[in-house]
Amino acid sequence: MSTLTLAVRDSSTMVRRQLKRLIRYPSMTVQLVVTPAILLLVFVYVLGGTLGNGLGGGGGGRDAYVNYIVPGILLMAAATAATGTAVMVATDMTEGIIARFRTMRIYRASVLTGHVVASVIQQLLGMIVLIVIALVIGFRPNATAIEWLATAGLLTLFAIAITWLSVALGLKSPTPEAASNAPMPLVLLPFLGSGFVPTDSMPTVLRWFAEYQPFTPIMETIRGLLLGTPIGNSAAIALAWCVGLTAVSYLWAKNTFNKA
Amino acid sequence: MTNLAIAANGLRKSYGDKVVLDGIDLAVPEATIFSLLGPNGAGKTTTVQILSTLIAADGGTAAVGGHDLARKPDDVRGAIGVTGQYSAVDKLLTGEENLLLMADLKHLSRRDGKRKAAELLERFDLLDAARKPAATYSGGMQRRLDLAMTLVGDPRLIFLDEPTTGLDPRSRRSMWQIVRELVASGVTIFLTTQYLEEADELADRIALLDHGRLIAEGTPEELKRLIPGGHIELTFADTHLLDAARHLLGTGIADPQALTLQVPSDGGVRAIRELLVVLDEHSIDIADLSVHTPDLDDVFLTLTGQHKETTR
Ligand SMILES: Nc1ncnc2c1ncn2[C@@H]1O[C@H](COP(=O)(O)OP(=O)(O)OP(=O)(O)O)[C@@H](O)[C@H]1O
Ligand SMILES: [Mg+2]
């Protein structure tokens, strides 16, 4: 069997393993939808009236805010899931089955690929649920089919990048508890970017950070695709971040796994 | 000369300052059971981990299943099956799913995989629990599932690291039975244990590992003969014969109550024959005779000068 066929076959075996585990223990998946959903509802219904008026342009108010917040909530959902993935990976590494895999003639990285693909599928399903909730409470995108596809593509790339990163963090963590803290900053990044309020409302230092961190161009691109706001060079920067982060995290994770 | 399933030379391993393996040589012929016997911390698991490609040795060379360990680790992996000391099942999956996972990773066709899984569930008495998550299994069941998973790809060389530690006597016997069946079908078994009885019961050859060194190696009988303490126990019909024998032989511990005489001996056939000839020449009839070769516990005591801490 060629290396590529071996890699594909073993990886898909590992994806099936991981999906079975996720389906059997759905609490993690549920939490991954519930947390951002609650946040969505709180922000829209409690803060949305006021925050929406501050957006400037358009109608303002709650309706404007639902539209504004969706990209941030989607990324937040992915970041929350990443925390879960890091814990999953760290827990998995303490299990004897990993030692068994290491004594078998299989494509090594397939263990990690299994985690990543399953987690990305889980995140995309979660995002669909969140978009449906948003639509119910007044989200009104004006995207064409192509723009929806582009959105799905970018969200997938983002999910892949952040999941490889959390796999690496999970592998680096000495314990599952430590792994649950490592990706925490990722959950905060939508707040420290253009996820919940426009960056030009922030103090200088924070604004500088918000404009250059990876989540902002991704959120701006999605906002542009779904609502027709200007995208500018955000799309290119967003793609570069996703691809770069994936490459670095993948190599980091693979090396860490092989060394252990 | 038979082929060697494992040939190791001068294996060494240290963790920091601590020398865990200090030059281990091993030669395990195909289709035999080789037992590495040693107390806690002797380095048994470390040896298995090195030979099964889990960790790299600091020094020494080894060929496992005919493949060089350092240069062709993937070929070694293709030739072996490993049941480690600690449970290596996916506890979130069911027993059946665990076996099918192994079948997929061994690249069996779906049909062959299903057939193999069904066969192993049956053979390891796991049919009733096949659809339950492995987390709900008892220790003995997990151990059986663990071994069943190892057997999925029909490996010709199997490492078993303390396969019966923590099992009740009945489960232990059934594990022994499985091991014997495997060897009968031509599989080579490398087994570690801290139970002298287990090595004695199963192994064709035993190596005694202590503090990272092999202190003795041989068949169970050879090892037992290595040390003094063996004797032949003669039983007589009356005290008269007992005294006569005691005088004739000039040695031995007599027990007038039980009418027995313990004569120091290595317990070999030759020694027994000589003893019988002498007694016969003097018309001293014996009622019974039994040979006590020292058990492996005595071997350990003699060779290391200390009692093995068994944790039974
Ligand atoms: N990763 C490690 N780091 C440091 N020391 C280790 C490591 N692994 C093993 N050791 C040490 O190496 C020695 C041998 O360990 P090993 O697990 O091989 O013993 P063992 O014969 O299998 O013992 P047991 O019967 O308890 O399983 C022990 O003193 C142990 O503390
Ligand atoms: Mg051990």
Cβ-defined contact of B82 to A100 (cutoff 8 Å): yes
Gap between the Cα atoms of B134 and A171, Å rounded: 24
Contact indicator for A9, A108 with CB cutoff of 8 Å: no
Q: Whose CA is nearest to atom 2 of ligand 1?
A: B15
pLDDT digits (tens, 9 = 90+) for B277-306: 999 999 888 999 988 776 666 666 667 655
pLDDT of residue B221: 83
pLDDT tier for residue A50 given thresholds of 50, 70 and 90: confident
Measure the CA–CA gap between A7 and A195, rounded to whole angstroms: 38
Q: Which two tokens stand for residue A83?
A: 């925390």
Contact indicator for B114, B140 with CB cutoff of 8 Å: no
* Interface predicted TM-score of the whole assembly (ipTM), two decimals: 0.85
Chain B contacts to A (CB-CB under 8 A):
52-54, 74-75, 77-78, 80, 82, 84, 86-93, 97, 101, 104-107, 133, 149
Q: Are B133 and A24 a contacting pair at CB < 8 A?
A: yes
8 A C-beta contact, residue B248 and residue B196: no
Q: Is B302 touching ligand 1 by the criterion CB < 6 Å?
A: no
Confirm if A218 and A75 have CB atoms less than 8 A apart: yes
- Which residues 6+ apart lie within 8 Å of A16 measured at CB? A114, B104
Termini Cα distance of chain B: 39
**Closest CB to B105 among A13, A25, A99:** A13
CA distances from B89 to A7, A94, B82, B99, B148 (A): 22, 12, 12, 9, 10
pLDDT bin (cut points 50, 70, 90) of residue A225 is: very high
Q: pLDDT averaged over chain A? A: 89
CA angle B291–B292–B297, rounded 5-degree value: 160
Specify the pLDDT at position B50.
96
Q: Which domains does chain B possess?
A: 4-89+148-224 (3.40.50.300), 94-136 (no CATH), 231-292 (3.30.70)
Is A25 in contact with B82 (Cβ distance < 8 A)? Answer: no
Per-residue pLDDT at A189: 85
Beta-sheet strand order (sheet of B18-29): B18-29, B4-15, B59-64, B67-68
- What is the per-residue pLDDT across A103-123, written as a single tens digit (0 to 9) for each? 999 998 999 999 999 999 999
Q: Which of B82, B104, B107 minimises the CB distance to A103?
A: B82
DSSP B168: -
Among the ranges given (A77-91, B61-75, B97-111), the one the predictor scored with the smallest mean pLDDT: A77-91
